[in-house]
Amino acid sequence: MLDFADRCIKIVEAWSRGDDYEGIKIAPSRTTEELAPLLESRAKLLKEWADDDALWEFE
């Protein structure tokens, strides 16, 4: 999950610079400017969950 979140952050960083990210295509009806904040907030949430040891305790 942490790796996925890190990749999402890299995508957001590329989009913020106005660059494409290899292997990621956006449908014509959406823009990277519109989607970047959504992807960023989800990636940050995934990173929080990945770092929260209370969610990963096994008995």
Q: What is the pLDDT of residue 46?
A: 93
Q: What is the pLDDT of residue 20?
A: 84
Give the count of domains, the chain: 1
> Distance between CA atoms of 6 and 33, rounded to whole angstroms?
19
Residue range(s) defining the domain that contains residue 24: 2-56
**What tens digit of pLDDT does each residue of 12-56 get?**
999 888 888 888 877 676 788 888 899 999 999 999 999 888 888
> Distance between CA atoms of 33 and 15, rounded to whole angstroms?
7
> Distance between CA atoms of 17 and 24, rounded to whole angstroms?
15
- Residue 10 confidence (pLDDT) above 70: yes
Q: What is the pLDDT of residue 48?
A: 93
Q: Who contacts 29 (Cβ-Cβ below 8 Å, separation ≥6)? A: none
